[in-house]
Amino acid sequence: MSRPVPVDPAALRALVAEPRGRRFLVVGLGRSGTAAARYLLARGALVTATDRRPADELGAGVRALGEAGVTLHLGGHPDEAFREVDAIVLSPGVDPSLAPIDEAARRGVPVVSEIDLVADRLGARVLAVTGTNGKSTTTALLASMLAAGGFDAVPCGNYGTPLVEAAEGDHAGRRYALEVSSFQLETTRLLRSGAAILLGIRPDHLDRHGSLAAYRAAKERVLLLRDPGAPGICCVDDPLVAEAARAALPPVLAVTLEGRPEAGGCLEGDTLVLRFPGRPAVPLLRVDEIPLPGRHNRWNVLAAALAATAAGAGTREVAEAVRRFRTLPHRLEEVAQVRGVLFVDDSKATNVDAALRAIETYPGRRLHVLLGGRDKDGDFRPLAAALSAAGARALAYGEAGPRIAEVLEKEGFREVERCGDLATATRRAFAEAAPGDVILLAPACASFDAFRSYAHRGDAFAALAREIAREEEGR
């Protein structure tokens, strides 16, 4: 994106606070864009919307927008739609470097996210969560902790409901656990969160951002979009996050499993502990009380607990919320056990770092790891060492399967089988599995070569596991 003309924040706040009669262009009619268009239309704005998909690929919700008065340009983003508009609301799935968006920004048209439409009104009651992996689990944990602490807590944003919808019926006792993606952070301007969590930064979405530096800069914006005095909560065992924490304005709370920070959360013996300056350390709960598998979920719990306590929840209620929490769908979700073989759906592992964490979750058990999908310019080389250390097999499938297999073999890992699709890989894994083994869907890739979403892929895997179970019962 070229350097835009600077936008006056006060003028932007006034524009979104009173959109009646102003001209807004919504670019992209996914969940966020559709919600933004409905919100603006209900407040008297003159709304135009564009989407590269034709009408027959969009749902009834988009048709309803047209019937309600939104001017629709479908099947592309025509230049004329970008002229004579007061603001552009950019959906997360749309690249801001798109030529007409770039041109509008250089003319001084503010390009904002759907979040900006309500962020100024909600203020520090929004608690923001980002990171390459763990965002949704941490967001859901945070909402559960806030609810246990007596708040009307809503998980929203990139996970759950768009913020403009979540803010309907807003009141002083409501808190918003907001998952924000790198795509949303690129164009969010008015958010001033009451806490900002940065979980980790690993290479991801490089096909969109172009470089790790650009992706990292987008993620680190979450620390800039804080209310003055609100904590930045940083998982500093990640070296890039540690650098961001050192550069961030205070206060910064460090989350670590490898030391004892002056302020933050850590592991002491077998107990997660919260530490604040000038106060005694507060034991939260034992590791064996966390119902979520994997070492990475200890970071997630600590980060969410720090944000929840910063918002006013008590540590006792926070701990109880963790004990009651259950794994989200498609995140190390155990979907079947057949003849002693466990099927685990981690379809949300859409990048290499997430797949590495999944592989490390089952020490001592033989793994059959399903890897494949659509490549996002990932570096698959680290998988070879992790698979070898785990004594695992790899089954490479889908569009990225041949490249994954080739990379693993070049790195010296030979226990890899090439499979055409997910169904073939799943059945081949089961054919070679023994009781006690784990068949792990941890693709390290996006799902869009053959599926609508990671959830669709995970559901297909679970259905395959159930089909195999029925076949085994009939033998």
8 Å CB contact between 343 and 333: no
What number of other Cβ atoms are within 10 A of residue 456's Cβ? Answer: 15
**Strand residue runs (E) in 52-188:** 71-74, 87-90, 111-112, 126-130, 152-157, 174-179
209 catalytic? Reply is: no
What was the pLDDT predicted at 208?
Answer: 87
The residue range of the domain holding 33 is 21-112
Instruction: With respect to residue 407, please indicate whether it lies within any of the assigned structural domains.
Output: yes
Give percent of the chain with pLDDT exceeding 70. Answer: 99
| Residue 370, strand partner residues | 395, 441
Least confident residue range of 69-73, 78-82, 185-189, 275-279: 275-279
What number of other Cβ atoms are within 10 A of residue 55's Cβ? Answer: 12
Does 200 share its domain with 346? no
Does 269 share its domain with 392? no
Instruction: With respect to residue 1, please indicate whether it lies within any of the assigned structural domains.
Output: no
Which is catalytic among the residues 73, 77, 133, 158?
158
Question: What's the token pair of residue 217?
Answer: 């800069």
Nearest to 54 by CA among 38, 26, 77: 77
Does 41 share its domain with 140? no
pLDDT mean over 107-112:
95
What was the pLDDT predicted at 1?
Answer: 44
Instruction: With respect to residue 259, please indicate whether it lies within any of the assigned structural domains.
Output: yes
What was the pLDDT predicted at 135?
Answer: 96
**Cα–chain center distance at 45:** 30
135 catalytic? Reply is: yes
Does 154 share its domain with 254? yes
Query: Could you give the CA distance from residue 119 to residue 214 in angstroms, rounded to a whole number?
Result: 24
Does 192 share its domain with 211? yes
Query: Among 300, 324, 348, where does a domain finish?
Result: 324
C-alpha pair distances (Å), 273 with each of 279, 301, 318: 12, 11, 12
Does 301 share its domain with 399? no
Query: Could you give the CA distance from residue 194 to residue 176 in angstroms, rounded to a whole number?
Result: 10
What was the pLDDT predicted at 293?
Answer: 92
Q: Where are the alpha helices (DSSP H) in 325-440?
A: 352-359, 381-389, 401-410, 422-432
| Residue 396, strand partner residues | 371, 418
Question: What's the token pair of residue 72?
Answer: 């629709």
Which is catalytic among the residues 73, 77, 133, 135?
135
Query: Among 324, 347, 375, where does a domain finish?
Result: 324
Residue 3 pLDDT exceeds 90: no
Query: Could you give the CA distance from residue 99 to residue 85 in angstroms, rounded to a whole number?
Result: 16
Query: Could you give the CA distance from residue 426 to residue 420 in angstroms, rounded to a whole number?
Result: 11
CATH of the domain at 166: 3.40.1190.10
Q: Is the dihedral of CA 172, 174, 177, 180 positive or negative?
A: negative
Residue 234 pLDDT exceeds 80: yes
What was the pLDDT predicted at 277?
Answer: 80
CB-side neighbour CA atoms (13 Å) of 150: 8
Annotate 37-61 with DSSP letters as a single string: HHHHHHTT-EEEEEESS-GGGS-HH
pLDDT mean over 351-378:
95
Which is catalytic among the residues 73, 77, 133, 205?
205
pLDDT tens-digit series, residues 152-200: 999 999 988 999 999 999 999 999 999 999 999 999 999 999 999 999 9
Number of domains in the chain: 3
8 Å CB contact between 457 and 422: yes
Query: Among 112, 145, 163, where does a domain finish?
Result: 112
Instruction: With respect to residue 47, please indicate whether it lies within any of the assigned structural domains.
Output: yes
CATH of the domain at 340: 3.90.190.20
Instruction: With respect to residue 361, please indicate whether it lies within any of the assigned structural domains.
Output: yes
Does 97 share its domain with 223? no
